[in-house]
Amino acid sequence: MPAQFRTAAANPAQWGTVLLRVGDHLVRHPSRSACRAVLGAAAVAALALGAAACGGGATAQDAAVGNGSSFVAGTYGTTVFQPGSRPEAPQVLGTTLTGGRFRLAADRGAAVVMNFWGSWCTPCREEAPVLGALARQFSGAGVRFLGVDIRDDPASAEAFMRTYRISYPSLSDPNDLIALDFRATAPPAGIPTTLVIDPTGRIAARVIGPVSYDGLKSLITQAAGRT
């Protein structure tokens, strides 16, 4: 995996051991000394990300609730949040690849599948037909699909969506700002990451790595309250 996914930092050289390989990129988390350095930096984005990572947060130590499995740092995994303990999704505002404006709160009352992806990401290409098929299956059933295109150029992203018949909108997130909005709840610890948000605006599940048809369908059904 030759490329690297570089998280925001005042000085990238300060970031420590690689914990999780995802897509074609590496996700880094800071050492304790790096945390102290980041906490002293002036950049607000670096401060917020550094504080979340220093705290141990969901990225490093998630355990799935009620599904008999657990997420172990360094592997793909699924985290399921039981009703009553689901973190609230942040306010997400952005611009789609086609230039439209998007506000996550406008979809309140529907379950939302939010997929963080990039055209450069090999597992994203592997899971794209699954996401497209499920989006078509749940069309008109109170479920919305949304992509978040990470560190990409619009031409490549649009070609990706045409190739894999992705008809739902994707937000452009070239600087990871939308991903950072989730740092205190269920951060996308790798690309691809898929979040399933219930109709009340709370995060019901997170999948790190490529989704499967049956697995994601089951998570959507549970989040939408159809079990």
CA atoms 178, 54, 59, 189: torsion sign: positive
* Predicted local confidence at residue 10, as pLDDT: 31
Q: Which helix (H) or strand (E) holds 80?
A: strand 77-80
| Helix orientation angle between 213-223 and 122-137, rounded to the nearest 10 degrees | 50
Measured CA to CA, the distance from residue 113 to residue 172 in angstroms comes to 16
Give, in words, the CATH class of 77-223: alpha beta
Say what percent of the chain tops pLDDT 70. Answer: 66
| pLDDT tens string 60-106 | 223 333 333 333 333 588 999 999 999 999 999 999 999 999 999 99
Which residues are 173's β-sheet partners?
150
Measured CA to CA, the distance from residue 125 to residue 207 in angstroms comes to 16
Count helices and strands in the chain by DSSP H and E runs: 7, 10
| pLDDT tens string 130-179 | 999 999 999 988 999 999 999 999 999 999 999 999 999 999 999 999 99
Using alpha carbons, select from 81, 49, 46 the residue that is nearest to residue 62: 81
CA 6-8-13 angle, to 5 degrees, is: 65
Torsion of CA 133, 78, 148, 59, to 10 degrees: -170
Measured CA to CA, the distance from residue 191 to residue 41 in angstroms comes to 26
Could you give phi then psi for residue 178, rounded to 5 degrees? -70, -40
- Residues of each domain in the chain carrying CATH 3.40.30.10: 77-223
